[in-house]
Amino acid sequence: MIREWVPGRPVLVAGCTPAVLDQVLSAVATQAGLAPGGTQDWSSYVLRVLFSDDWDGLSPLRDTTPATAELLAVCRRIAATTSSRRLPRGDFVHGDFNFANILVRDDGGIAILDMEQAGRGTRAYDLATLFMVTRWPGEELDEDLQNRVRRAGEEVAGEAVFRLCLLSIVLDWTRFGTSHWPESHVEQFSHRWGAFPRACLLGLRTVREGSLNGRLLTVVAVDSVTPTRARAHGLA
């Protein structure tokens, strides 16, 4: 285990301070233009998840529950409205860039682990993964830190590329859940993130969750949204 050779704690345990996030974002910036050789292409995978009829997640999402089928339809419908499907491929991409794989070393620096899935693509994919985990229920970061990650992701190759990465990750994580989680957990995950694709398109400010009569409620606050903008993204 690499962790035995790098003294420190995962950010998931140690916590993500503004100073730690500075280092994390700087690390992702160094991935620019460092696309490795090999066959793993994360930009191609994003497009396969969102647009291909032979992605292996289609059947699990269509067949597991009505909630997973609806999530698939919503994400793909929004993706179809994106103005460009051209994703950069010149960066190094970790592929599983989450706080469990980032250590805060004892000397104050950071170390990034678990490179088995690394490949080429746009580093916006890693920032989209990071943005998702900053919103993970029970582990949410301060809203200002969340917004820093999102802005960094959008600055890599534009809002449309970041959006496609986010949508593909929502679907890919749900697909993973269909074969690894109880169906009730998959159902809850699909409902929880079902509002997320719409919100991230329409100017997400915050998401709050609660329950009413035992049902999970997701409340999304967005910036001003015109009917025209909503229709343009297939949401009205």
pLDDT tens digits, one per residue of 215-236: 443 333 333 333 343 344 444 4
Q: How many domains does the chain divide into?
A: 1
The pLDDT of residue 197: 61
Gap between the Cα atoms of 109 and 146, Å rounded: 21
User: Which are the contacts of 51, defined by CB distance < 8 A and separation ≥ 6?
Assistant: 76, 79, 80, 85
Q: Which of 41-45, 119-123, 224-228 bottoms out in mean pLDDT, i.e. has the lowest?
A: 224-228
42 domain-assigned: yes
- The answer as to whether 233 is a domain residue is no
- Residue 110 forms beta bridges with which residues? 104
Model confidence band, residue 195 (pLDDT cutoffs 50, 70, 90): low
Confidence class of residue 207 from pLDDT cuts 50, 70 and 90? very low
Is 70 exceeded by the pLDDT of residue 3? no
- Paired strand residues for 107: none
CB 95 within 8 A of CB 118: yes
Amino acid letter for position 85:
R
Examine residue 211 and state whether it is found in any structural domain, yes or no. Answer: no
- 2 pLDDT more than 60: no
In a domain, 236, yes or no: no
Mean pLDDT of the chain: 83
Confidence of residue 199 (pLDDT cuts 50, 70, 90): low
- pLDDT mean over 173-180: 95
Asked if the structure places residue 99 within a domain, the reply is: yes
Would you say 123 and 149 are in contact if contact means Cβ atoms under 8 Å apart? no
Percent of the chain topping pLDDT 90: 64
Query: 7: domain range?
Result: 2-194
Residue at 163 is within a domain: yes
- Tell me if 228 is assigned to some domain: no
- Cα(181)–Cα(4) distance, rounded to whole angstroms? 29
Mean pLDDT of 122-149: 92
200 lies in some domain: no
CATH assignment at residue 179: 3.90.1200.10
The closest alpha carbon to 226, from 207, 209, 203, belongs to 203
DSSP-based three-state secondary structure for 88:
coil
Phi-psi category of residue 113: left, alpha or beta, with phi > 0 → left and psi -120 to 50 → alpha:
beta
Residue 177 or residue 198, greater confidence: 177
pLDDT, residue 190, reads 87
Alpha helices in 52-139 (DSSP H): 58-63, 66-80, 124-134
> Distance between CA 204 and CA 200 in Å, rounded?
5
CA 139 to centroid of chain Cα atoms: 15
